[in-house]
C-alpha cells in the first residue's frame, strides 16, 4: 500500500509530480482542470513529456485524476448532463495521454427524477461516456456520502450501476472514500467493523473492483449522511480504524490518497506522516 494526496497543478499540469514529491507522496491525485468550471488546460506533446519526465524524476508510482465537482449524470438540465458526459470522457482521454491510472468521479444526484428514472438516465449517460473509449485510464465510481438523493451512496447502488452497464461495466472500478462510506453507514472504527465492511463490499460488488482508497477521517458521526472530512485520527473514525484499514491483508495492493483539510490543525504532510507511521 502506497500513500499520497490530492495536489495542486499551480504552474501547469506538469508541476503535479513535483508538488506531490515535495510533500512526501508516493502516489498522487490531481484535477486536470478547474473543479468549478472553465476551459481545461491544453495537453500537448510538450506538457506530456514534461509531466512524464517529472513523474519519473520524482519516483512517483501512480497518479490519478478526480473529475470536477459539478458532474451530474442524472440532471434534468441537458446542458449539465451532456456537459458532465463530455467532461468525464475528456478526462479519461486526457488522463490516458498523461499516463494516469484512474479517473474517479461522483455521479451526481437523483433530485430531478424518481429513483428508477434517475437510475435509467445515469446508466444511459455512463454508456455514452464509455462507448468507444480505448484509452488506458480506468474509470472509477467514488462512493458518496448519502445526503439527499445522492447517487452511489451504497454498495448495492454502485453494483447495480456497474451490472446494468453490461460489457462496459467490466472495466469500471470503485474508489472507496472512508469518510463518505462512514457517513453512509459503513463502520470503520475498529478491526471487526473494517472486516465486516470489507466482507459486505466483497459480497455485493467484489473486492476485485476496489481500486483506490480516499483516506479521510470524518468530522460527523457514523451514518450521519454528511460529507465532512477531518485529519486522520482527529475524527469519528479515529486512528484505530485507520490502523486496521492500512494494515488489512486484503488491502495490501490498494493505494491511499488523502483529501483531508488544510487548516490550523495541519495539512497533507501531517496526515502522510500518520499513514507512514501506522504502516507495518
pLDDT band at 146 (very low <50, low <70, confident <90, very high): confident
- Check residue 111 and give its pLDDT: 85
273-277 long-range contacts (CB < 8 A, ≥24 apart) are 273/24, 274/231, 274/232, 274/233, 274/239, 274/242, 275/3, 275/215, 275/232, 275/242, 275/246, 276/3, 276/24
Range ranked top by mean pLDDT from 33-47, 137-151, 229-243, 263-277: 229-243
* CA 199/CA 186 separation, integer angstroms: 11
3-state secondary structure of 10: coil
What integer best gives the mean pLDDT of the chain? 95
227 annotated active-site = yes
Residue 280 has pLDDT above 80, yes or no: no
Q: Kindly report, residue by residue over 181-203, the tens digit of the pLDDT.
A: 999 999 999 999 999 999 999 99
- Return the domain boundaries, the chain: 3-278
pLDDT band at 99 (very low <50, low <70, confident <90, very high): very high
Q: Kindly report, residue by residue over 101-137, the tens digit of the pLDDT.
A: 999 999 999 888 888 999 999 999 999 999 999 999 9
Instruction: List the catalytic residue out of 14, 62, 177, 230.
Output: 177
229 annotated active-site = yes
Instruction: List the catalytic residue out of 157, 217, 259, 271.
Output: 259
**For every residue of 43-81, which 3-state class applies, written as one string?**
CCHHHHHHHHHHHHHCCCCEEEEECCCCCCCCCCCHHHH
Residue 63 has pLDDT above 90, yes or no: yes
Instruction: List the catalytic residue out of 157, 227, 230, 271.
Output: 227
Q: Kindly report, residue by residue over 264-279, the tens digit of the pLDDT.
A: 888 899 999 999 999 9
* CA 34/CA 66 separation, integer angstroms: 11
CATH of 3-278, one of 3.40.50.720, 3.40.50.300, 3.20.20.150, 1.10.10.10: 3.20.20.150
- Check residue 264 and give its pLDDT: 86
Amino acid at each position: 500500500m502506497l500513500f499520497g494526496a490530492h495536489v495542486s497543478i499551480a504552474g501547469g499540469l506538469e508541476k503535479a509530480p513535483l508538488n506531490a514529491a515535495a510533500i512526501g507522496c508516493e502516489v498522487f491525485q490531481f484535477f486536470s482542470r478547474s473543479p468549478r468550471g472553465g476551459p481545461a488546460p491544453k495537453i500537448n506533446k510538450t506538457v506530456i513529456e514534461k509531466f512524464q519526465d517529472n513523474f519519473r524524476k520524482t519516483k512517483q508510482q501512480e497518479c490519478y485524476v478526480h473529475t470536477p465537482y459539478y458532474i451530474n449524470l442524472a440532471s434534468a438540465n441537458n446542458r449539465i448532463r451532456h456537459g458532465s458526459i463530455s467532461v468525464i470522457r475528456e478526462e479519461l482521454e486526457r488522463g490516458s495521454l498523461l499516463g494516469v491510472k484512474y479517473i474517479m468521479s461522483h455521479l451526481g444526484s437523483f433530485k430531478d427524477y424518481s429513483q428508477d428514472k434517475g437510475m435509467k438516465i445515469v446508466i444511459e449517460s455512463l454508456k455514452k461516456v464509455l462507448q468507444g473509449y480505448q484509452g488506458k485510464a480506468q474509470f472509477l465510481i467514488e462512493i458518496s456520502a448519502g445526503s439527499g438523493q445522492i447517487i452511489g451512496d451504497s454498495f448495492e447502488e454502485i453494483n447495480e450501476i456497474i451490472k446494468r452497464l453490461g460489457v462496459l461495466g467490466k472495466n469500471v472500478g470503485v474508489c472507496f472514500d472512508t469518510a463518505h462510506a462512514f457517513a453512509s453507514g459503513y463502520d470503520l472504527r475498529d478491526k471487526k467493523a473494517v472486516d465486516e465492511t470489507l466482507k459486505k463490499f466483497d459480497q455485493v460488488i467484489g473486492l476485485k473492483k476496489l481500486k483506490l482508497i480516499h483516506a479521510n477521517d470524518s468530522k460527523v458521526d457514523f451514518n450521519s449522511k454528511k460529507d465532512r472530512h477531518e485529519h486522520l485520527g482527529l475524527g469519528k473514525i479515529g486512528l484505530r480504524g485507520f490502523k486496521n484499514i492500512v494494515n488489512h491483508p486484503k488491502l495490501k495492493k490498494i493505494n491511499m490518497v488523502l483529501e483531508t483539510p488544510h487548516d490550523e490543525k495541519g495539512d497533507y504532510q501531517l496526515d502522510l506522516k500518520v499513514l507512514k507511521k501506522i504502516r507495518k
